[in-house]
Chain A
Amino acid sequence: MAVRLAVVAALVAVGAGCAKESCLSGEPSCVVASPCPNVSFECSGMNEQLAIDTISSVAQRPGGWNALGAKGDVKLSNAFAEVVIAGLGTQNFLDPNGGSILDLSPRGQPKDVVNNIFQVVGILPGDGLRYTSLKLIDEKPERVAVELRGALEGRPDVIAFTRYELRACDRGVRVRTELINGSTDTELWSLVDGYYWSGREALPFTPGAGFGFTHPSFNLLTINNVFRTFPFLAAAGHTGDDRTSSIATASCTAPGMEGFNSDQVSAAGLPRTRVPPRGYLVFERFIAVADSKGVSGAIDLAMEVRRQVTKEAFAAVSGKVERASALALASERETSVLISEGNLAMPAEQRSPWTQVVPAADGTFSARVVAGKSYVVEAHSFGRKVLEKEFANVADGLDLGAFVLPSTGAVTFRVNDAATMQGLDAEIFVVPVDAAEREKVQGTLHGRFTSCAPWLGTPSGASPACNRVLVRQGQATAEVPLGRYYVYAFHGPFWSLGRDTVTIMPGASTVTFTLTRLVGLKPPGTLSADFHIHGAASFDSSIPDLDRVLSFSASDLDVAVGTDHDVVYDYTRTVEQLGLGARLSTVIGLETTGHIPFLFIPKSSFPLVIGHYNMWPLKYDPSLPRNGGPYDELVEPGMLFERTRPLFTGTPLIELNHPWAVAEFGRDLGFPRALAMDLNRDLPAADDGTNLGIYVRTPQGATFANDGHHAQEVMNGTDNGLFHQYRAFWWYVLNQGRKKVGTANSDSHSLTDNTVGMPFNLVTAPTQPGPTFDVNTLNRAVLDGRSLGTNGPVIEATIEDAAGMARPFSTTTFAPKADARVRVKVTSAPWVPVHEVRFVVNGQIVKTVRDLPLPADPFASTGSFVRYEGEVALAELLTGVTGDAWVSIEAGRPLLLAGDLGGGQGGALDGMPDTTDNNGDGVVNAQDVMGTGAKIGPLADPPLAKEGEAGFDFANVTLGYPLAFTNPFFLDRTGDGQFTAPGAKGGR
């Protein structure tokens, strides 16, 4: 009897696995179950619009600033939505091999706000799902689907399946992911969808006390503490134009999802779970998309999903906002309604926001919230809460009534060219006249993005943005909160700066400026060029193309190199659309951007990325992934350059960007900082196993060395942040005999973070912007070092060679005359004060000419623009230097004294300035260090000029200080016909 029982038990035990669910069996013939079977949407007559296509032409690409779909990707579409799944082998951002969502937008609308939605189980590179097979499922008219199979990255024993499915009436995509632990280890999985927002685009929104758009900050070390459970995750774009939509995701099986949120990335999925061997997880969710400017459109759909999944009833509420003389109400900048669970007696941070809605043009709005609860409805306008009302026990159909918003001023800005009185493209800066005025108008988008005073619109989006307004052909109109302001009109550093002090009152008003081209300031034969500019095509920019290109013209830039992150982009069509083709040229390029850490350096166990590089000119092919850009992950710089080599369309220029920028989310932005290079040591001739060896080595299969770039940013950003460090690295490589050309770029991603063309490169090149522009000529001039970097001051300098000829700075080495003199002339607009001129030899400032006379009237348009003109004996500068030397000239505001107190690997001294003289005692030492537990820093910028000081108006426009530097003269002092590296000690 016992034996028989045992046999039965054995059969039950072993046979129990026969009926396996979906693909949890792992069988090759399995089919992933249809996701969200308990969720349905209704429509009629829409079946024929259900489609599944492998994208084969540009015309099939979805539209929108974030659209990425390309040939080989799969598009599912119905009457309401379209979603693009990256084809296998198509790598984007953190998706290692395709299979992630690239685009999700309302059907036929150019409104994609999704960068990338991908599946991961943790935060390490090996926690991503790598799909290796893709199957199209066409079961029209019921459904279309894409089924993917793969495994965790580098973990073939942890198998994964994901199915994306669209039905005829779905307002979004159904997704089911299965993950089976076939390994021998107990795993910790946080099986989630990762949403890559990237900082200046869509913002995550989740219900929860104190949440909504606000989420606890974290880093990779504290991320475990910020996991929260939320009923849904929503997001919407904030481009400031009409090309935006909203998305929301809700679980199809559970009341909530667990994850974390930040402006950079969100995660929403299953709770963190220990999964021993043989364990599995299944995650089913619905990702809705709606044609709405606020998050409410998609949240309404998420509420419907939750009604079906959790039986949670919702209430649809409606209302209306009104403002006398409003230019528009259907704009997030002017009206945003936040609905939070709670009451007026509660502090705002204890209320639980459930939705945010942007009214229609007539001011009406509606939204869904959980029924039966009490809510506070807040009306926000120009970044500030202006009204709130409480509603108890909210039921379906509740009319919230009218919200009457305070008045604003409708200001028309006019900017004319003094010479022709024709309208100019320009940028307006609106600055409160004092702290009290600032306090009255300071705002944010529900606490997110940059705080601005006044807040005229989303800082990262279209004009008006933050406190800035673009003026096209001399005129623009914007609503401005009431207050007293300095209003500036800016048209680049070769023009006068306009300023008016204005009190904005309700109703219409006009502010007019007349700007003057400052004759003689821009040397003949030069072009102003910004080699580092982003637009909405970048994953971290929301500024529409029209505003982006208009900003080039507003800064009076000659050449703009488009360097969008990880995607080649062409602004030519927009240039033509704006009629700027005769005087503005754009160049097609990109900025490679490492996302997946892989590189290990000695004495560190953390994998790294290689940072960012700009490359131009490149071929733009919108039919290809990344518009033809290279796959830039998992390779060292030398191999990246090799991959890009066939994509260049002219003389290649590769630029190392922001070499010492601080890492973001564990991803280094500059290769030298990633390597923790010790600048006190000389570079080895070849890879010697050290960090420096990695910098110089040539990866296998590449013909470029890792330091094979041509140029390096020395100035990055309008505020010159980290100039000390970028400059120190440049000086270091020059001392190593690497003739890397120093550049100055805005790295602008919007109207707010940096102003295009501030700083810029003034390149001496025999070409002109417009129809005859030749990028090869420009690049050759840059490669020859015939450029200077500046945000206003212009430096002209020569040194006499052995034949007595005055040589300009360039990469061409020459022998100086025995009694050679360095002749320097510095000019600038009256609003760009130059306090001093500095002479740099082999990485040391050897002479400073201080206390230069400052212009009396910053708004003058005539008079002398010369701030310094003089000459210095070369021998005086070279005192104490043996061997060959390089010489560079700087001009601008005095910098703070900076020094190296550590910061290298293990805290060692690394030759990189990390701390300024913050206590002003004339030395840099431990007493300058601030911050609990800190051993170095901060590295401060010079304080912004106060009102009444020279540079006050410059600071109001740039948030920085005047600065310029020349590329070096390379001097052959030893007479061997070449430039011999002075070494880390600079030949001293």
Chain B
Amino acid sequence: MRTLALSLLISTAALAQEVSQPVVELPRGGCVATEARGLPEGPLAMGYVEADLASGRRACPRNEVGLGVRGLGIIDTPAFYGDVGAKGALFGSWAVRPTTELFATLEAVSFGFTQNATLTKTEITLGHMTAGVAQVLYDTEKLSGALTGRVLLPTSFEIPGVRLVGAELGHTVSWRPKAWLEVHGAASIDLTAGLGAARSDPRVGALGVVGAMWQPTSWFGLVLDVSGRAGRVSYLAPTLGARFRISSFGLELAGSLPVVGNDRHDFVASARFSWRF
């Protein structure tokens, strides 16, 4: 387990090191064709776990900042249990080169409400933070692909006595066979572990996402993704989203529901507002 963790972290670090290497010229393809648009692209930016860990990421770099909110809930009435969370996040990315992007997400406000029978508790804390890098590996007129890596930083106070860390390595691809259609996919493997007095309880997960965005106009896109995750928590979940653009501003609304697996979420939904510059 620790070997795997090391591998993931080292790979992520190596990816970061790429940024400081001499520029490798790639064919200027699909990424350039879409670089001026504020419309979000790639897989819907919504995961089931900490911050944006284990969620697909777009292949093409861009400069962007934004605000997002994600809501998750488990309502298990027969077990008299409920857990509802809302995460208010700041996110941004910086295309340090046309082929390289640094990105980060901070759950600045993490709201949680949990109910056990008639006992309830509400909590607001600083949430999780991730930072990562994406390196475009290929970018043709219709096909773009990037290697992504990110780390989960121990910023959250959600877990009593424990700071959670983690890392993720993945690959994401975008294919534009038509101007109105983007087909995308992503695959990643991640590891999280606790830091503290208790056992670290490392958990490994793997994620696969395939989906497509139907984009009839330059200001609107409809996205359908299917995500599959394997690990302690596993699921197969369709995710439906709508994307809007006004000038350089983008809005993404999405909702997801696991249909297979042991994940107990009854709803996951998000809204992200971004400004691309």
B199 on the interface (CB 8 Å rule)? yes
B121 on the interface (CB 8 Å rule)? yes
CB–CB A223/B119 < 8 A:
yes
CB–CB A7/B10 < 8 A:
yes
B80 on the interface (CB 8 Å rule)? yes
CB–CB A188/B120 < 8 A:
yes
Complex Cα spacing A25 to B161, Å: 13
Which of B10, B79, B199: most chain A CB closer than 10 A?
B199
Complex Cα spacing A2 to B12, Å: 10
CB–CB A272/B9 < 8 A:
no
B17 on the interface (CB 8 Å rule)? yes
Among B51-59, B89-97, B189-197, which stretch is in contact with chain A?
B189-197
CB–CB A279/B160 < 8 A:
yes
Contacts A122-B117, A184-B233, A187-B114; A20 near B198 (Cβ below 8 A): yes
Which of B16, B195, B197: most chain A CB closer than 10 A?
B197
User: Which residues of A have CB within 8 Å of B162?
Assistant: 278-280
Contacts A185-B83, A188-B121; A3 near B14 (Cβ below 8 A): yes
A132 on the interface (CB 8 Å rule)? no
Instruction: State which residues 75-118 of B face A: CB under 8 Å.
Output: 77-81, 83, 85, 112, 114-118
How many chain B residues touch A (CB < 8 A): the figure is 51
CB–CB B197/A14 < 8 A:
no
User: Which residues of B have CB within 8 Å of A209?
Assistant: none
Which of B114, B118, B161, B198: most chain A CB closer than 10 A?
B198
Nearest-CB residue, chain B, relative to A6: B13
Contacts A17-B193, A278-B162; A2 near B13 (Cβ below 8 A): yes
User: Which residues of B have CB within 8 Å of A11?
Assistant: 6
Contacts A17-B194, A182-B201, A224-B120; A10 near B6 (Cβ below 8 A): yes
User: Which residues of B have CB within 8 Å of A124?
Assistant: 80, 116-117
Which of A15, A17, A122: most chain B CB closer than 10 A?
A17
Set A2, A188, A220, A223: member contacting B114, Cβ < 8 A: A188
Set B16, B119, B160: member contacting A281, Cβ < 8 A: B160
Contact with A along B41-59 (1 / 0, CB 8 A): 0000000000000000000
Instruction: State which residues 467-517 of A face B: CB under 8 Å.
Output: none
B178 on the interface (CB 8 Å rule)? no
User: Which residues of B have CB within 8 Å of A122?
Assistant: 116-117, 119
Complex Cα spacing A155 to B81, Å: 14
Instruction: State which residues 235-277 of B face A: CB under 8 Å.
Output: 262, 264
Rounded to whole Å, the gap between the CB of A417 and the closest CB of chain B is 57
Complex Cα spacing A2 to B13, Å: 6
Rounded to whole Å, the gap between the CB of A634 and the closest CB of chain B is 18
A257 on the interface (CB 8 Å rule)? no
Instruction: State which residues 668-701 of A face B: CB under 8 Å.
Output: none
CB–CB A274/B199 < 8 A:
no
B25 on the interface (CB 8 Å rule)? no
Contact with B along A9-29 (1 / 0, CB 8 A): 111011111001110111100
Complex Cα spacing A170 to B83, Å: 42
Contacts A2-B16, A279-B160, A280-B161; A17 near B119 (Cβ below 8 A): no
Instruction: State which residues 1-25 of B face A: CB under 8 Å.
Output: 2, 5-6, 9-10, 12-14, 16-17, 20
Which of B121, B196, B232: most chain A CB closer than 10 A?
B121
CB–CB A13/B5 < 8 A:
yes
Complex Cα spacing A272 to B118, Å: 12
User: Which residues of A have CB within 8 Å of B120?
Assistant: 188, 224, 272
B74 on the interface (CB 8 Å rule)? yes
Contact with B along A111-129 (1 / 0, CB 8 A): 0000000000111101100
User: Which residues of B have CB within 8 Å of A272?
Assistant: 119-121
Complex Cα spacing A122 to B2, Å: 35
CB–CB A24/B123 < 8 A:
no
User: Which residues of B have CB within 8 Å of A605?
Assistant: 77-78
A5 on the interface (CB 8 Å rule)? yes
Which of B79, B118, B196: most chain A CB closer than 10 A?
B118
Instruction: State which residues 172-197 of A face B: CB under 8 Å.
Output: 180, 182, 184-190
B200 on the interface (CB 8 Å rule)? yes
User: Which residues of A have CB within 8 Å of B262?
Assistant: 184
Nearest-CB residue, chain B, relative to A26: B199
Contact with A along B118-129 (1 / 0, CB 8 A): 111101000000
Complex Cα spacing A273 to B74, Å: 18
Contacts A3-B10, A184-B233; A222 near B118 (Cβ below 8 A): yes
CB–CB B116/A187 < 8 A:
yes
Rounded to whole Å, the gap between the CB of A278 and the closest CB of chain B is 4
Set B2, B118, B160, B201: member contacting A221, Cβ < 8 A: B118
Nearest-CB residue, chain B, relative to A181: B159
Instruction: State which residues 575-633 of A face B: CB under 8 Å.
Output: 605
B187 on the interface (CB 8 Å rule)? no
A276 on the interface (CB 8 Å rule)? yes
Nearest-CB residue, chain A, relative to B193: A14
User: Which residues of A have CB within 8 Å of B197?
Assistant: 20-22, 24, 280
B165 on the interface (CB 8 Å rule)? yes
Which of A21, A223, A274: most chain B CB closer than 10 A?
A274
CB–CB A278/B198 < 8 A:
yes
B158 on the interface (CB 8 Å rule)? yes
User: Which residues of B have CB within 8 Å of A21?
Assistant: 197-198
A313 on the interface (CB 8 Å rule)? no
Nearest-CB residue, chain A, relative to B18: A2
A330 on the interface (CB 8 Å rule)? no
Contacts A6-B12, A14-B5, A224-B119; A25 near B199 (Cβ below 8 A): yes
Complex Cα spacing A182 to B233, Å: 12
A909 on the interface (CB 8 Å rule)? no
User: Which residues of B have CB within 8 Å of A127?
Assistant: 116-117
Complex Cα spacing A57 to B10, Å: 63
B228 on the interface (CB 8 Å rule)? no
User: Which residues of B have CB within 8 Å of A180?
Assistant: 198-199
Rounded to whole Å, the gap between the CB of B16 and the closest CB of chain A is 6
User: Which residues of A have CB within 8 Å of B17?
Assistant: 2-3
Contacts A2-B16, A3-B14, A605-B77; A14 near B200 (Cβ below 8 A): yes
CB–CB A278/B194 < 8 A:
yes
A647 on the interface (CB 8 Å rule)? no
A275 on the interface (CB 8 Å rule)? yes
Rounded to whole Å, the gap between the CB of B55 and the closest CB of chain A is 18
CB–CB B114/A186 < 8 A:
yes
Nearest-CB residue, chain A, relative to B14: A3
Contact with B along A199-243 (1 / 0, CB 8 A): 000000000000000000000111110000000000000000000
User: Which residues of B have CB within 8 Å of A26?
Assistant: 198-199
B164 on the interface (CB 8 Å rule)? yes
B202 on the interface (CB 8 Å rule)? yes
CB–CB B9/A6 < 8 A:
yes
User: Which residues of A have CB within 8 Å of B114?
Assistant: 186-188, 274
CB–CB B2/A14 < 8 A:
yes
CB–CB A14/B194 < 8 A:
no
Nearest-CB residue, chain B, relative to A279: B159
Which of A15, A185, A187: most chain B CB closer than 10 A?
A185
Nearest-CB residue, chain A, relative to B263: A184
User: Which residues of B have CB within 8 Å of A221?
Assistant: 118
Q: Which residues of A approach B to under 8 Å, CB–CB?
A: 2-3, 5-7, 9-11, 13-17, 20-22, 24-27, 121-124, 126-127, 180, 182, 184-190, 220-224, 272-282, 605
Besides A7-B10, A17-B196, 20 new A-B residue pairs in contact (Cβ under 8 A), listed by A number = A3-B10, A6-B13, A10-B5, A13-B165, A14-B5, A16-B195, A16-B200, A20-B197, A21-B197, A123-B117, A124-B80, A124-B117, A126-B79, A127-B116, A189-B116, A220-B117, A220-B118, A272-B119, A278-B201, A279-B161
Closest 3 CB pairs of A and B: A6-B13, A17-B200, A10-B9
23 sampled A-B residue pairs with Cβ under 8 A: A2-B17, A3-B14, A6-B9, A7-B9, A14-B2, A14-B6, A14-B200, A16-B196, A17-B200, A27-B199, A121-B116, A122-B116, A123-B118, A123-B119, A186-B83, A186-B114, A188-B114, A274-B121, A275-B159, A278-B159, A278-B164, A278-B198, A278-B201
